[in-house]
Amino acid sequence: MGRRFRGESHHKVDTKGRVSIPASFRRVIEASDPNWKSGENPELVIVYGDQRRNYLECYTMEAIEEVDAKIDALPRGSMQRKMLQRLFHGQSFPTTVDETGRLVLPAKLRNKIGLEKEGLLYGGGRHLPALEARDL
């Protein structure tokens, strides 16, 4: 079992949709990306879901592979498998943490959760469960 995300922090979002990731969270993302090497940008997957979700979930590569394995274990054609595939495969955005330790969020994701000026990042163990808008 790898390192875990713990804590919460508020971060400004600039006009290009960049939000800083706390150093402790970046270390977890790096440690949980089997392809990551020092000097490279670690990968992660942002799951945004349908209109009922007003937050973004960020999964490390290890965590998303665990989710994929659980989905693959479900009976083919089952409603549960189809729903989970839609969420984790279709309503997701693979990305990297840039060289300055930030996530660049596309306008589609920012608009979905109403993120304009400030976001709240908080840890949830194996995945970073949420980036929520905290705009005033």
User: Mind listing the domains of the chain with CATH numbers?
Assistant: 8-133 (3.40.1550.20)
Number of other CB atoms surrounding residue 58 within 10 Å? 25
Whether the per-residue pLDDT at 124 is higher than 90: the answer is: no
State the pLDDT confidence band at 76, using cuts at 50, 70 and 90: very high
47-56, 108-117, 120-129: least confidently modelled range: 120-129
The confidence score (pLDDT) of residue 1 equals 47
- The DSSP output letter for 63 is H
Residue 76 CA to residue 120 CA, distance in Å, equals: 37
Residue 127 CA to residue 29 CA, distance in Å, equals: 9
The confidence score (pLDDT) of residue 132 equals 65
Tell me the mean pLDDT in the region 28-34. 91
